[in-house]
Amino acid sequence: MTILTMTNDIISWKSPSNIALIKYWGKHGVQLPQNASLSMTLKNAATNTELQYRHSPNDMEVQYFFDGERSQIFEEKVIIYLERLKSEMPFLGDYYLKFSSSNSFPHSAGIASSASSMSAMALCLVSMEEEVSGKKLAKSDFFKRASHIARLGSGSASRSVYGSWSTWGVAEGIKNSSDTYASPLDFSPHEVFSGLGDAILLVDTTPKKVSSSLGHHLMKVHPYATGRYRQAAMNLEALMVSMQVGDFDSFACVVENEALSLHGLLMTSSPEGLLLKPGSLQIIDAVRQFRNETRTKIAFTIDAGPNIHLLYPQTERENVMQFIENELLQYCENGRWIDDEIGDGPERMK
């Protein structure tokens, strides 16, 4: 296996994961969503990706390193992605490309690692496009372009190029919404949501049995698909209202309904779709009991995996930290969890 020696240009981006509160599940065409989604961009769960490139007289050559080691599995996926991108970015055929990535959290365990990794890669590629073309994009156009390029690799990645809150998918009532790229939320949420915390409880970090790609594919033949898309539209409208008026109870109701609907679809799509673990269910039960007894503002959501996200306003942080320490760590793998919060979005490192 030949290792490229890169001596020229280096670009590096750090891009965060996001947690979808209105879930995108099911797609059509080329990475287009069957329903609009809304997500919160995280701060600490992120991917760092460095791109080294130099001109090549031959066709595009790619190498991909993860945590310092060349990864054949990821590399093959990246090559397929970049080959598809040549129609969008024809200059790629003239370069050697070496990607080096690392995550601050476990991948393939339901914490949207594809969102952070593909958005970081897309940001590197759009920055490279600017450099090799000599054409600098306006800031808004740069991130719209990066969102579009990220979407072609991972739908949820389209939202990670923006900080705080973002939506993706055409939706009634959202200005300039699009299926081809995400956009920042077009209003400022009530202050109760401005500094939302996210405690990610790592119930099980082993790779999940049903990939998100397979899950989306299975929705094409799911008998509940049409009803699900109507539900998502109604939940999106209700969630935005609760965020505008500061109604955390209604926010929690919608967010938790979306999480459990996603897992209901997973479980009825495939025998392998039961991704929740006993610890996941015990945490959900404990959260509901804690909320009822203490009136603490707290809500859970779940991506396509067993790990639980606890969302809470910063005014509730002390109560939530004690709750995690006293009651929930017993359900986490080796007592592990990630202390995260809403973030400002990607950052260029080089």
3-state SS record for 266-311 = HHCCCCCCCCCCHHHHHHHHHHHHHHHHHCCCCEEEECCCCCEEEE
Band of residue 211 on the pLDDT scale cut at 50, 70, 90: confident
Domain of 200?
191-341
**Which CATH number does the domain housing residue 229 bear?**
3.30.70.890
Between CA 18 and CA 156 the distance in angstroms is: 8
Between CA 101 and CA 51 the distance in angstroms is: 9
**Whether 73 and 179 share a structural domain:** yes
Strands 347-348 and 9-22: antiparallel
**Whether 172 and 221 share a structural domain:** no
| 3: in domain | no
> Per the structure, how many domains does the chain have?
2
Residue 277: both structure tokens together: 């673990």
Model pTM score = 0.93
**Whether 223 and 299 share a structural domain:** yes
Band of residue 111 on the pLDDT scale cut at 50, 70, 90: low
**Whether 93 and 154 share a structural domain:** yes
| 349: in domain | no
Name which of 87, 217, 107 is nearest 152 in CA terms. 87
Between CA 19 and CA 184 the distance in angstroms is: 14
**Whether 24 and 141 share a structural domain:** yes
pLDDT tens digits, one per residue of 253-268: 999 999 999 999 999 9
User: Is residue 214 pLDDT above 70, yes or no?
Assistant: yes
**Whether 203 and 180 share a structural domain:** no
Q: Which of 140, 168, 188 is the last residue of a domain?
A: 188
| 4: in domain | no
**Whether 112 and 237 share a structural domain:** no
| 2: in domain | no
Q: Is 237 exposed, middle or buried (0-12, 13-18, 19+ CB in 10 A)?
A: middle
Q: Which helix (H) or strand (E) holds 98?
A: strand 95-103
The residues near 221 (Cβ < 8 Å, ≥ 6 apart) are none
Do residues 311 and 301 lie in contact, with contact meaning Cβ atoms separated by under 8 Å?
yes
Between CA 156 and CA 39 the distance in angstroms is: 9
**Whether 77 and 212 share a structural domain:** no
| 17: in domain | yes
| 226: in domain | yes
How many beta carbons lie within 10 A of that of residue 344, not counting itself? 11
Q: What is the 3-state secondary structure (H, E, C) of 208-238?
A: CCCCHHHHHHHHHHCCCHHHHHHHHHHHHHH
User: Is residue 201 pLDDT above 60, yes or no?
Assistant: yes
**Which CATH number does the domain housing residue 155 bear?**
3.30.230.10
User: Is residue 204 pLDDT above 50, yes or no?
Assistant: yes
User: Is residue 289 pLDDT above 60, yes or no?
Assistant: yes
**Whether 114 and 100 share a structural domain:** yes
**Whether 16 and 142 share a structural domain:** yes
Q: What is the mean pLDDT of residues 276-286?
A: 97
User: Is residue 279 pLDDT above 60, yes or no?
Assistant: yes
**Whether 237 and 209 share a structural domain:** yes
Q: Round the average pLDDT of the chain to a whole number and report it.
A: 93
| Percent of the chain at pLDDT exceeding 90 | 86
pLDDT tens digits, one per residue of 295-315: 999 999 999 899 999 999 999
Between CA 237 and CA 35 the distance in angstroms is: 12
Q: What is the mean pLDDT of residues 211-236?
A: 92
| 26: in domain | yes
Residue 27: beta bridge partners? 33
Q: Which of 135, 169, 188 is the last residue of a domain?
A: 188
**Whether 164 and 300 share a structural domain:** no
Alpha-helical regions (H) of 61-193: 72-85, 113-133, 139-151
pLDDT tens digits, one per residue of 14-60: 999 999 999 999 999 999 999 999 999 999 999 999 999 999 888 89
Between CA 200 and CA 220 the distance in angstroms is: 30
User: Is residue 3 pLDDT above 90, yes or no?
Assistant: no
Q: How far is CA 323 from CA 286, 289, 305, in A?
A: 9, 11, 22
Q: What is the mean pLDDT of residues 179-201?
A: 95
Name which of 147, 109, 124 is nearest 333 in CA terms. 109
What pLDDT is attached to residue 207? 79
